[in-house]
């Protein structure tokens, strides 16, 4: 009697779970499992912590739910979005005037006006808003609306790449304005002007988007776009293979396995570098000789071929070699012999176990990578292996950011970064000495007065040639005193089902948000 | 004094009691039964290999015949190898046992000791030889009722398990119908015994082996049980009653075989054994004298371990008449295996 | 069911002449295979121990040496187990992995045995309500699935080797405690212990002279039996990403980091570490089983783990 | 029976209490800062002020016993708190997933019992025979093989090499509705591997139980009655031999949960295991605590079930004792 009731309860629980999941998975207005090409499910690795632009969501544009004043096209040229045209720049680069697109509505039907723009920027700049990237808007002195359809930004200094910043998504004042910006429900239930509306966000699991029929750019053909959040690379690959996903971002070794399986692999070029921080505070990594030796002791090409399966390029600094900002003459040549010579000359003598020593200091330092990040792990192992060959020991260790962060002033970290929009975007926070120890800015505590000055010039000068010269200086200084060993620029690999036809990708930054990859323009897909 | 081997004496199995005098197995005045020989055992030996590699000789060179309508009581103290003998006859010995000799069953002379397990299972047990086991409740599967045991056995042996047949089978051993749905542990000793008897009788086997059927029963029940067994034997069955209870044996046996340390030491008519002239072997006499209604004096000492038998007569250590002759194992001559007796008769 | 016929055998049958009997038996003799199994286990354990103890200090080989040009080579003469996805030799990695796993296993087994012996001896020797309380505590512990409790402990104290050791040790002392307690109880009821107590021997003397020697073999056996358990546990935690960091070789992390290669179709980085685990477990358990058979001959063929 | 269930329930109360307290004590001894865990990577750049606020909200500044008691009382009322890793009420997390875990575990258990019983009986029939050796060797090897390893090999073979079964997940995602057929197809590999991991125990115990039973009097009696070997095995040896196995079935629940944790991870089965691992990596205390308690509850339930099964199967066991 008792046994039976237990069994019944178990069966009920199972049945309840079945219904719960099936109702969660079934799409309203959609029939059985044919799925068709009007819906797409993609697997992504990272989940945004919030969907509120006010807290940093989509700050680099392309947030699907929102639009910025401007947006990037395939080759990263700025195009007007919520603005009717590119901004008028006056006052020697200190004033940006945007005329707004007319007739745009938020997906809840309320009209979009200049007040929303002002609200968005002012809220982000407000001290009480915990938006970690508000520093990016540091140049703004004021934002003003001139009538319903014009917004004027006034800057503190002629910040050359400012227009690039205005891809930032615009939030509706009538919804987001009435609640606490940091804790309000807007972060989980966002409403914007973008091509898609949020249907459901089950954290850690998936983000379900539905086409916004009233989108000013025309209703998207892909009516339902689901982003499954799968942190584990292997699981993502498994589920892509099992047909669970239509597309996914994958590390190179896993993407390779999908060749000729009715899916296409897209390699998105990126500015995303992997680098080893060589903290100034460490007696070994702070030594310029060690830094220079390591810089030429790593076999970057082997990493590109072996770890990235060829999907990437060697990095000779933060700027990719094919960028217009790259400084010719700063390419590093792999030369372990010379590296050893540098160390010999600097007084680092090989010890008993083959590890060099100088003044009682062993040429050994810990090298941390984010646990679970296979790509960083492999880079770290390869780096350590190369370093060993010249008598320097990098002790590879794994940890979460919580563990790693307090150790950053002393220990080396396998870090990543890079942004294609403007050299200022990533070099300034990476190298400015006054940003050392500020969160994940300047993790290596790099301290070089000439670099500091050049970064300042690059940021504030409106003159293109002057800026180029400034960033050339930075890159040359990084050869003389490489506080970071730049290893590779990695291509982001995406595998997508054939049925969506031939897709395109953008050049991507390190922080490839939700809407990177071939689905950067999912609203334009023509299934 | 003729050396015997299992193979050369086996052929005479069918000839009943008509053995030549010097083989000695039939005993004097042998069979009081009416039918032919049901079972003919020659030189049956069983030994067990122990984990340390040594052997335990449980049964050594036992020979006897059993005719239809006859009841042979195999008596002896506990641990003398009686029950092993029953197991050997039914092929129920554990894996570490090995056997020698022969045991020919019925008209076709099937050798139980050489028959394949399949033959034993399909043709012999239950059908040609039924077993009434020692501690019958323990020989029933505890999780099943008596009815289910009976039904299963009836179906197996007769191919039909209608409730009528089951009831009839129970009735034959006077097992009360209203107890059929009880589990073995819910039965009294007497009822369990009846259940076991009923199960043994289902196949109508010509040979019944009753292995200590009276253990744990009180005197009244013992008598009733052995009487029933005798009744079931009737004219056409043979009953091998294995017991340490001489009184029970005396009640129903036609002949008595006494076993000591794995060997038969005496085999004779029951009337002569229990009446005059009485047993001839000193051990058999001692057994009988130990009964309460007689001298009530136990035999001094303990029986030897079957794993460490003395070289000569196994009883010599306890025997008042032991002499130098006893260092040799005596043969069974004229139904008794004792140097002193044999000498006395000669 | 072919009967085994032993050759005619002579039995001592007195002056009447040897009595020959043909013995037939249905038994299958198994002693030799058991002996072989023990010998085989011992040999495997010896090989494993030697390689684990000797290879790392003496070999001039770097298990972490990355050779990106030789990545994912299938098994060959130069790399008997093949190479992994950054070109490290898998045989060497397996040796190091086994070393770490064995180390974790042995340390955890010893710690858990010490805990178990202490708790069991305490309960058994003191008896009364201490005994009842302690055994209830054991019941409580037994109610939580080992791995889950292990996960919980590691999650709260990660990262590193020690939380893994602690989590394995803290979850595996129960059976030892039960065994030791039973042993102490049975020893206590032996006449010579009784005699010692009534003879006025001090508690401590009784414990040291009489109880301890009786308990130690059982505890030692429990420790050896625990080693495969602990290895298993460590590898499971590591596989879940909660044990050792993935670049450090242990049997669990090796399988874990081989997942990607497996999905790409390369089977050897997954196969060999697992085989090592199976081999090591079977060998250690085989030896422990033989020991147990000698120690408790009545509980003959029980479960291995 | 009611009394037995009552006694078990009575025992369960202190056990659950002790387990939850233990869980809180471990967490209290942990160097991990639950506030930082809650804040996640954002917490790295969060101000001390914000962290203090969070600390007060989460109530981690209060003494251990108070927190435990508060948690316990709200748990009894059905409020298990909010998972910091999945940012969802713990009750929802469990509710959504436990059904799938139960499905997987019971399917695997069923297969293991049936297959294990069969192999165990085959092995017990002739101890030392080649079937016995093959079966026991297989059982020992399976017992030594980590289930996640088995799972990966099986996945490689069936999903990648042969392509006959899906490699993981619950359904094909092309479809938006969960159908029984799809779930069944996706269930085969994980349930099979979980069953394999549980198999050795059943095989060896059934072999032992039936092997012992074959030596005992009831089987001797059945043989003597002339029953066919098959009847002797199934009707007698198996039925008495399975009794000790039945009593121990309940004690398998922990191992089943352990195995399910690993198998679910390998096959990305959307059960509670995935949630467990995720909550563990994120040091998500509320979810971990609830899952630990849930597992303990399952174990106690298993014990009760075993008692009841034994009582039903063995007429000699009374329920008054």
Residue B163 buriedness (CB in 10 A; 0-12 / 13-18 / 19+): exposed
* SS3 call for D264: helix
pLDDT, chain A, mean? 87
Residues B166 and B253 in one domain: no
B197 Cβ contact partners less than 8 Å away, ≥ 6 residues apart: B132, B136, B173, B213, B225, B228, B229, B232
ipTM for the complex shown: 0.76
Check contact D-B (3+ Cβ pairs < 8 Å).
yes
D130 Cβ contact partners less than 8 Å away, ≥ 6 residues apart: none
Of B133, B136, B183, Cβ closest to residue D315: B183
A14 versus C292: the higher-pLDDT residue is C292
Contact D18 C140 (CB under 8 A): yes
Number of Cβ within 10 Å of residue B79's Cβ equals 17
Residues B153 and B235 in one domain: no
Of D5, D98, D168, Cβ closest to residue A242: D168
Of C152, C252, C262, Cβ closest to residue D156: C262
Cβ(A455)–Cβ(A427) under 8 Å? yes
Classify residue B60: in a domain, yes or no: yes
Contact D41 A204 (CB under 8 A): no
Of D169, D270, D309, Cβ closest to residue A242: D169
pLDDT of residue A289: 95
Classify residue B13: in a domain, yes or no: no
Burial B97-133 (b: 16+ CB within 10 A, else e): bbbbbbbbbbeeebbbbbbeeeebbeebbbbbbbbbb
Q: Is the pLDDT of residue C11 over 50?
A: no
Contact A388 C86 (CB under 8 A): no
DSSP one-letter string for A21-70: HHHHHSPTT--STT--TTEEEEEES---S---GGGTTTTTS--SS--BSE
Domain termination site, one of B175, B203, B231: B203
CA distance C265 to C268: 9
Contact D276 C148 (CB under 8 A): yes
CA distance A53 to C109: 53
> What is the domain partition of chain C in residue ranges?
44-58+88-293
Largest pairwise CA distance in chain A: 87
Any chains having at least 3 CB pairs less than 8 A from chain B are: C, D
3-state secondary structure chain B: CCCCCHHHHHHHHHHCCCCCHHHCCCCCCCCCCCCCEEEEEEEEEEEEECCCCCEEEEEEEEEEEEECCCEEEEECCCCCCHHHHHHHHHCCCCCCEEEEEEEEECCCCEECCCCCHHHHHHHHECCCEEEECCCHHHHCCCCCCHHHHHHHHHHHHHCCCCHHHHHHHHHHCCCCHHHCCCCHHHCCHHHHHHHHHHHHHCCCCCEEEEECCCCCCCHHHHHHHHHHHHHHHCCCCEEEEEECCHHHHHHHCCEEEEEECCEEEEEEEHHHHHCCCCCCCHHHHHHHHCCCCCCCCCCCCCCCCCCCCCCCCCCHHHCCCCCHHHHCCCCCECCECCHHHHHHHC
**Residues of C with CB below 8 A from A377's CB?**
246-247
Cβ(C90)–Cβ(C70) under 8 Å? no
CA distance A76 to A251: 24
Question: What letter would DSSP give residue A518?
Answer: G
Report in angstroms the alpha-carbon separations of B331 from B140, B239, B263.
Answer: 40, 26, 10
Residues B107 and B239 in one domain: yes
pLDDT of residue B7: 38
Q: Which of A386, A342, A389, A391 minimizes the C-alpha distance to A362? A: A391
CA distance C209 to chain D (A): 36
**Residues of D with CB below 8 A from C270's CB?**
149, 152-153, 156
Cβ(A391)–Cβ(A348) under 8 Å? yes
CA distance B25 to chain C (A): 18
C-alpha D156: how far from chain center: 24
Residues B112 and B144 in one domain: no
Residues B155 and B26 in one domain: no
Strand ranges, E, within A156-283:
196-202, 206-211, 224-229, 247-250, 263-268, 273-277
Helices and strands (DSSP H and E) totals, chain C: 11, 4
CA distance A485 to A339: 13
Q: Is the pLDDT of residue A32 over 60?
A: no
Give me the CATH code for the C44-58+88-293 domain, please.
Answer: 1.10.3720.10
Domain termination site, one of B179, B203, B227: B203
CA distance A360 to chain D (A): 34
The length of chain B in residues reads: 346
pLDDT of residue D321: 37
Residues B280 and B336 in one domain: yes
> The tokens of C141 are what?
């512990």
Residue D49 buriedness (CB in 10 A; 0-12 / 13-18 / 19+): exposed
Domain count, chain B: 2
Q: Is the pLDDT of residue A441 over 80?
A: yes
Number of Cβ within 10 Å of residue B282's Cβ equals 24
Classify residue B12: in a domain, yes or no: no
Which of C4, C144, C231 to mutate to test binding with chain D, by most D CBs within 10 Å of its CB?
C144
CA distance A184 to B189: 81
CA distance C158 to A263: 40
**Residues of B with CB below 8 A from D227's CB?**
121, 126, 152-153, 156
Residues B214 and B304 in one domain: yes
pLDDT of residue D317: 67
Classify residue B11: in a domain, yes or no: no
Classify residue B341: in a domain, yes or no: yes
B330 versus A276: the higher-pLDDT residue is A276
- Is the C-alpha dihedral spanning A405, A411, A415, A420 positive or negative? positive
**Residues of D with CB below 8 A from A25's CB?**
171, 176-178
pLDDT, chain B, mean? 81
Of B47, B96, B100, Cβ closest to residue C22: B100
Contact C26 B118 (CB under 8 A): no
CA distance D55 to chain C (A): 18
Q: Specify which residues B71 forms β-bridges with.
A: B239
Q: Provide mean pLDDT across the span A157-165.
A: 91
Cβ(D126)–Cβ(C26) under 8 Å? no
Residues B225 and B94 in one domain: yes
**Residues of D with CB below 8 A from B199's CB?**
221, 225
Which of C260, C266, C267, C270 to mutate to test binding with chain A, by most A CBs within 10 Å of its CB?
C260
Contact C260 A253 (CB under 8 A): yes
Check contact A-B (3+ Cβ pairs < 8 Å).
no
**Residues of D with CB below 8 A from B86's CB?**
none
Residue stretches of chain D with pLDDT short of 70: 1-2, 32-61, 84-87, 169, 171-178, 317-321
Q: Which of A147, C190, A244 minimizes the C-alpha distance to D173? A: A244
Contact D159 A241 (CB under 8 A): yes
Cβ(A345)–Cβ(A289) under 8 Å? yes
A44 versus B24: the higher-pLDDT residue is A44
The residue written with tokens 């307290």 in the block is D21
Q: How confident is the model at residue A486 (pLDDT cuts 50, 70, 90)?
A: very high
pLDDT of residue A67: 94
Q: Which of C105, C63, C108, C109 minimizes the C-alpha distance to C86? A: C63
pLDDT of residue B80: 82
Of A33, A402, A439, Cβ closest to residue D174: A33
Report in angstroms the alpha-carbon separations of D134 from B155, C45, C299.
Answer: 35, 23, 22
Any chains having at least 3 CB pairs less than 8 A from chain A are: C, D
CA distance A193 to A172: 9
CA distance C133 to chain A (A): 30
Alpha helix (H) residue ranges in A346-440: 374-389, 401-404, 423-431
DSSP one-letter string for D193-241: HHHHHHHHHHHHHHHHHHHHHHHSHHHHHHHHTT--HHHIIIIIIHHHH
Residues B72 and B154 in one domain: no
Which of B90, B100, B113, B326 to mutate to test binding with chain C, by most C CBs within 10 Å of its CB?
B100
A284 versus D51: the higher-pLDDT residue is A284
For chain A, percent of residues with pLDDT exceeding 70: 92
HSE, CB side, 13 Å, CA atoms: give it for residue C108: 30
CA dihedral C81, C83, C88, C90 (to 10 degrees): -20
Q: Provide mean pLDDT across the span A473-489.
A: 96
**Residues of A with CB below 8 A from D312's CB?**
3
Residues 102-131 of C with CB under 8 A from D: none
pTM of the predicted protein model: 0.80
**Residues of D with CB below 8 A from C251's CB?**
146
Cβ(B262)–Cβ(B283) under 8 Å? no
CA distance C19 to chain D (A): 32
For chain C, percent of residues with pLDDT exceeding 90: 14
Q: Provide mean pLDDT across the span A350-375.
A: 91
pLDDT, chain C, mean? 80
In which element (H, E) is residue A343 found?
A: helix A336-345
The length of chain C in residues reads: 305
CA distance A400 to D85: 15
Q: Which of B279, B280, B211, B199 minimizes the C-alpha distance to B245? A: B211
Contact A242 D98 (CB under 8 A): no
Any chains having at least 3 CB pairs less than 8 A from chain D are: A, B, C
Contact D270 A21 (CB under 8 A): yes
Residues B61 and B199 in one domain: no
**Residues of C with CB below 8 A from A233's CB?**
260
Domain termination site, one of B150, B170, B203: B203
Cβ(A398)–Cβ(A408) under 8 Å? no
pLDDT of residue C159: 65
Classify residue B8: in a domain, yes or no: no
Which CATH number is B287's domain given?
3.40.50.300
pLDDT of residue B14: 38
CA distance A62 to A523: 11
Domain carrying residue B186: 138-203
List, for residues A364-397, the tens digit of each pLDDT value. Answer: 999 999 888 889 999 999 999 999 999 999 999 9
For chain D, percent of residues with pLDDT exceeding 90: 14
A370 Cβ contact partners less than 8 Å away, ≥ 6 residues apart: A376, A398, A399, A400, A401, A404, A414
Q: Specify which residues A228 forms β-bridges with.
A: A43, A206
Classify residue B166: in a domain, yes or no: yes
Residues 260-279 of C with CB under 8 A from D: 262-263, 265, 267, 270-271, 273-274, 277-278
Classify residue B133: in a domain, yes or no: no
CA distance B142 to chain D (A): 7
CA distance D217 to chain B (A): 5
Tens-binned pLDDT, residue by residue, of chain B (346 aa): 333 333 333 333 333 333 333 333 444 334 444 457 899 999 999 988 887 778 888 899 899 999 999 999 999 888 788 888 988 998 888 878 889 999 999 888 889 888 888 888 888 898 899 998 888 888 888 888 899 998 989 888 887 777 888 888 888 888 888 888 988 888 888 888 889 888 988 888 899 999 888 877 788 888 888 888 888 888 888 999 999 888 889 889 999 999 998 899 999 999 889 887 888 888 888 888 888 888 788 888 888 888 888 888 888 888 888 888 888 888 888 788 887 775 444 3
């Amino acid at each position: 009697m008792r046994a039976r009731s237990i069994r019944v309860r178990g069966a009920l629980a199972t049945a309840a779970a079945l219904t719960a999941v099936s109702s969660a998975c079934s799409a309203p207005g959609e029939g059985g499992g044919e799925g068709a090409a009007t819906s797409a499910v993609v697997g992504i690795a990272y989940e945004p912590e919030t969907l509120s632009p006010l807290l940093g969501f989509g700050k680099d544009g392309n947030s699907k739910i929102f639009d910025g004043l401007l947006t990037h096209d395939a080759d990263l040229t700025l195009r007007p979005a919520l603005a009717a045209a590119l901004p008028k720049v006056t006052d020697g680069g200190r004033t940006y005037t945007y005329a707004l697109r007319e007739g745009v509505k938020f997906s809840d039907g309320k009209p979009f006006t200049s007040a929303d723009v002002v609200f968005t920027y002012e809220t982000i700049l407000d001290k009480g808003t915990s938006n970690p990237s508000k520093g990016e808007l540091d140049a703004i002195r004021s934002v003003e609306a001139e009538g319903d359809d014009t917004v004027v930004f006034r800057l503190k200094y002629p910040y050359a790449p400012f227009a690039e910043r205005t891809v930032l998504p615009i939030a509706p004042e009538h919804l987001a304005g009435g609640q606490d910006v940091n804790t309000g429900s807007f972060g989980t239930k966002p409403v914007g002007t973008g091509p898609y509306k949020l249907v459901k966000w089950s954290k850690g699991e998936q983000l379900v988007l539905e086409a916004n029929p009233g989108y000013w750019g025309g209703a998207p053909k892909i009516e339902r776009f689901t982003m499954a959040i799968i942190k584990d690379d292997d699981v993502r690959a498994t589920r892509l293979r099992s047909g669970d996903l239509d597309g996914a971002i994958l590390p190179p070794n896993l993407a390779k396995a999908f060749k000729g399986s009715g899916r296409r692999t897209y390699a998105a070029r990126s500015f995303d570098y992997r680098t080893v921080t060589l903290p100034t505070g460490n007696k070994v990594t702070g030594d310029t000789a060690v830094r220079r030796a390591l810089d030429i002791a790593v076999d970057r090409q082997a990493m590109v071929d072996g770890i990235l399966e060829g999907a990437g390029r060697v990095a000779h600094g933060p700027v990719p070699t094919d960028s217009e900002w790259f400084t010719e003459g700063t390419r590093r040549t792999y030369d372990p012999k010379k590296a050893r010579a540098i160390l010999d000359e600097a007084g680092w003598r090989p010890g008993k176990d083959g590890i060099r020593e100088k003044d009682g200091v062993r040429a050994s330092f810990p090298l941390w990578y984010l646990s679970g990040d296979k790509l960083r792990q492999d880079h770290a192992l390869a780096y350590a292996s190369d370093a060993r060959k010249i008598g320097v020991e990098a002790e590879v260790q794994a940890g979460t950011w919580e563990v790693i962060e307090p150790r950053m002033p002393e220990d080396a970290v396998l870090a990543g970064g890079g942004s294609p929009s403007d050299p200022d975007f990533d070099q300034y926070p990476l190298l400015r000495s006054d940003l050392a120890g500020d969160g994940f800015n300047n993790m290596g505590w790099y301290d070089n007065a000439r670099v500091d000055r050049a970064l300042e010039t690059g940021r504030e000068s409106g003159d293109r040639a002057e800026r180029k010269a400034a960033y050339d200086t930075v890159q040359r200084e990084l050869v003389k005193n490489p506080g970071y060993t730049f290893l590779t620029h990695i291509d982001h690999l995406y595998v997508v089902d054939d049925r969506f036809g031939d897709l395109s990708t953008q050049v991507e930054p390190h922080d490839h948000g939700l809407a990177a990859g071939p689905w950067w323009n999912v609203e334009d897909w023509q299934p | 004094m003729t050396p015997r081997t299992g193979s050369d004496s086996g052929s005479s199995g069918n000839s009943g009691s008509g053995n030549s005098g010097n083989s000695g197995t039939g005993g004097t005045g042998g069979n009081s039964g009416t039918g032919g020989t049901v079972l003919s055992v020659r030189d049956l030996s069983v030994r067990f290999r122990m984990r340390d590699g040594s052997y335990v000789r449980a049964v050594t060179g036992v020979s006897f015949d059993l005719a239809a309508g006859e009841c042979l009581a195999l008596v002896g103290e506990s641990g003398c190898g009686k029950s092993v003998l029953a197991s050997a006859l039914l092929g129920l010995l554990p894996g570490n046992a090995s056997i020698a000799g022969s045991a020919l069953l019925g008209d076709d002379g099937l050798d139980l000791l050489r028959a394949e397990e399949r033959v034993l299972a399909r043709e012999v047990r239950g059908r040609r030889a039924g077993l009434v086991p020692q501690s019958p409740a323990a020989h029933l599967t505890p999780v099943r009722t008596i009815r289910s045991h009976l039904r299963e056995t009836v179906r197996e042996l007769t191919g039909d398990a209608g409730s009528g047949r089951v009831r009839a089978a129970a009735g034959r051993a006077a097992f009360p119908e209203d107890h059929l749905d009880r589990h073995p542990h819910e039965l009294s000793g007497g009822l369990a015994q009846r259940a076991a008897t009923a199960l043994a009788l289902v196949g109508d086997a010509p040979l019944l082996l009753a292995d200590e059927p009276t253990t744990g029963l009180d005197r009244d029940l013992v008598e009733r049980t052995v009487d029933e067994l005798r009744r079931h034997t009737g004219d056409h069955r043979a009953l091998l009653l294995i017991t340490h209870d001489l009184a029970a044996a005396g009640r129903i046996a036609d002949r008595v075989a006494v076993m000591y340390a794995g060997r038969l030491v005496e085999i004779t008519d029951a009337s002569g054994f229990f009446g005059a002239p009485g047993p001839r072997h000193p051990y058999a006499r001692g057994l009988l004298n130990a009964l309460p209604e007689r001298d009530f004096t136990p035999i001094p000492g303990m029986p030897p371990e079957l794993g460490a038998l003395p070289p000569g007569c196994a009883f010599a250590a306890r025997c008042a008449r032991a002499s130098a002759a006893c260092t040799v194992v005596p043969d069974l001559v004229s139904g008794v295996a004792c140097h002193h007796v044999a000498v006395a008769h000669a | 069911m072919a009967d085994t016929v032993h050759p005619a055998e002579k039995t001592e049958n007195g002056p009447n002449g040897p009595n020959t009997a043909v013995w037939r038996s249905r038994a299958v003799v198994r002693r030799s295979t058991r002996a072989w199994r023990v010998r085989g286990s011992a040999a495997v354990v010896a090989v494993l121990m030697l390689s684990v103890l000797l290879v790392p200090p003496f070999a001039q080989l770097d298990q972490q040496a990355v050779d990106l040009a030789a990545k994912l080579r299938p098994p060959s003469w130069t790399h008997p187990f093949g190479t992994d996805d950054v070109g490290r030799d898998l045989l060497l990695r397996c040796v190091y992995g086994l070393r770490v796993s064995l180390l974790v296993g042995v340390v955890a087994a010893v710690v858990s045995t010490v805990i178990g012996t202490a708790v069991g001896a305490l309960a058994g020797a003191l008896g009364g309500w201490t005994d009842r309380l302690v055994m209830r505590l054991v019941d409580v512990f037994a109610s939580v699935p080992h791995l889950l409790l292990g996960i919980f402990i590691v999650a709260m104290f990660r990262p590193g080797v020690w939380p893994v050791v602690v989590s394995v040790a803290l979850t595996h002392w129960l059976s030892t405690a039960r065994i030791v307690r039973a042993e102490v109880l049975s020893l206590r009821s032996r006449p010579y212990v009784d005699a010692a107590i009534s003879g006025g021997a001090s508690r401590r003397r009784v414990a040291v002279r009489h109880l301890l020697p009786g308990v130690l073999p059982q505890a030692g056996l429990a420790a050896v039996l625990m080693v495969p358990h602990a290895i298993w546990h460590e590898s499971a935690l590591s596989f879940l990403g909660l044990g050792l960091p993935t670049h450090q070789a242990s049997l669990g992390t090796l399988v874990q980091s081989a997942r990607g290669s497996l999905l790409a179709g390369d089977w050897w980085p997954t196969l060999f570490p697992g085989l090592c685990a199976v081999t090591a477990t079977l060998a250690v358990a085989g030896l422990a089983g033989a020991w147990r058979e000698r120690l408790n001959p009545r509980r003959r063929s029980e479960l291995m783990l | 029976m009611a009394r037995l269930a009552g006694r078990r329930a009575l025992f369960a109360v202190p056990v659950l209490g002790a387990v939850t307290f233990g869980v809180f004590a471990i967490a209290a001894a942990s160097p991990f800062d639950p506030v930082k865990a809650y804040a996640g990577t954002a917490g790295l750049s969060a101000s001390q002020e914000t962290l203090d606020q969070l600390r007060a909200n989460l109530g981690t500044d209060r003494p251990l016993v108070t927190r435990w008691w508060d948690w316990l009382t709200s748990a009894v009322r059905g409020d298990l708190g909010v998972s910091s890793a999945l940012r969802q009420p713990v009750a929802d997390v469990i509710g959504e997933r436990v059904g799938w875990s139960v499905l997987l575990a019971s399917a695997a258990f069923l297969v293991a019992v049936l297959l294990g019983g069969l192999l165990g009986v085959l092995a017990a029939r002739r101890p030392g025979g080649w079937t016995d050796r093959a079966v026991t060797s297989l059982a020992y090897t399976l017992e030594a093989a980590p289930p996640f390893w088995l799972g990966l090999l099986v996945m490689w073979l069936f999903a990648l090499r042969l392509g006959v079964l899906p490699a993981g997940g619950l359904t094909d995602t092309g479809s938006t509705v969960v159908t029984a057929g799809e779930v069944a197809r996706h269930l085969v590999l994980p349930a099979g591997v979980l069953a394999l991991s549980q198999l050795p125990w059943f095989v060896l115990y059934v072999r032992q139980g039936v092997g012992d039973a074959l030596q005992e009097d009831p089987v001797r009696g059945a043989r003597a009655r002339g029953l066919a070997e098959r009847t002797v095995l199934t009707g007698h040896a198996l039925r008495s031999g399975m009794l000790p196995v039945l009593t121990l079935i309940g004690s398998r629940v922990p191992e089943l949960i352990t195995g399910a944790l690993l198998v679910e991870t390998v096959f990305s089965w959307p059960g509670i295991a995935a949630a467990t691992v995720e909550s563990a990596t994120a040091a998500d205390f509320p979810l971990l605590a609830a899952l630990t308690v849930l597992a303990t509850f399952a174990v106690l339930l298993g014990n009760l079930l075993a008692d009841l099964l034994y009582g039903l199967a063995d007429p000699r066991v009374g329920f008054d004792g």
